[in-house]
Structure 1
Amino acid sequence: MPLPTIEQIRPVDCLALRRDVLWPDLTAQQCAVEGDEQARHFGIHADGQLVSCLSLFEIAAASFQIRKFATASGFQQQGLGTALLTHAIAQVRAQGGQRIVLNARTSACAFYARHGFSRFGEVSQRDGVSFVSMGLDLR
């Protein structure tokens, strides 16, 4: 499979995919989160449709958070998520970032661990989904 083209996209472009993958019981507009307008959003398209996206928030000097990472079910296990995550890490490094954190669904912990993220904190529940905090030190 050729390397996907990753583009910076608008926050509104992410909403339908977030809904479809992360919160199917909400409307697309309900999938907007505080800070979306200040964050950077990256996506991969296939046949003109957004199939994978993530949002990168600067939360403190040299510290970033990945939020709302979603890949359409028919496009999972094809390397798209890895490409987006690798791109986000490179973006943070290019800005002199030293740390990336995220709240991973427990079902995705192994994916993040393969990319160098480590768990910290306890598992928590939100809307019936289990999450754990993970981080990547870039220093």
Structure 2
Amino acid sequence: MAHIEQISHELTWRIRRDVLYPGQPLDKIRLANDENGMHLGLFDQNKLISVLSFFKNENSIQFRKFATLEPYQRQGYGTELLNYLLKISVAENYERVWCNARKNASGFYSKFGFTETEHSFQKDGHDFVIMEKILKTI
């Protein structure tokens, strides 16, 4: 049975690397502000299989380095983890949730009501677009 819990940032590193930057050194996937974020892990039968890091500011939450181990992809685990973050965001009255989405994953985020902004960029050979979900309007 799957469950979600808050984890240390160090526990996210292996899955981040293996899914998002295979073969790269761990330094490549560490975030400068990792220790300031909150990190969620989804466990299936006590095995960590999906991670998501998020960072709060005044009105919004940015999530980063969202990754699910390949054998567990397309089975609903990532959906469960993202829905968990969205519930936290609503419960804590945030106005917006956003991410730097890889362009090839934008369809996944669209299913949750995220929309592409006009901001896009390239990094490490990947095309990104900033996607956001507005939770409430002022």
Band of TM-score, shorter chain:
over 0.9
Q: Is the 8 A contact 1:44 1:80 kept in 2?
A: yes
Report what 1:84 is aligned to.
81
Q: Check whether the contact 2:3–2:44 (CA below 8 A) recurs between aligned residues.
A: no
Take 1:39 and 1:6, find their aligned partners in 2: how far apart are those partners? 16
Residue in structure 2 matched with residue 68 of structure 1 by the alignment = 65
> TM-score normalized by structure 2?
0.92
**Structure 1 residues not aligned, in runs of 5+:** none
Q: CA deviation at 1:62?
A: 1.8
Aligned to 2:47: 49
Pick the aligned partner of 2:19 from 17, 21, 33. Answer: 21
Q: What is the aligned-residue identity percentage?
A: 37
Cα RMSD, aligned residues only: 1.3
| Correspondent of 2:5 among 4, 7, 15 | 7
Q: Deviations over 1:8-48 (max 9, x none)?
A: 11000000000000111322243110211111111112344
Q: CA deviation at 1:122?
A: 4.1
Q: Is the 8 A contact 2:117 2:130 kept in 1?
A: yes
CA deviation map 1:73-120 (0-9, x unaligned): 100000001000000011111211110110101111011000000000
Tell me which of 122, 130, 135 is aligned to 1:133: 130
Name the aligned partner's letter for residue 57 of structure 1: F
Given that residues 15 and 29 in structure 1 are in contact (C-alpha distance below 8 angstroms), is that contact kept between their aligned partners in structure 2? no
Structure 2: tracts of 5 or more residues without a match: none
- Give the AA of the match of 1:96: N
Q: TM-score, normalised by structure 1?
A: 0.92
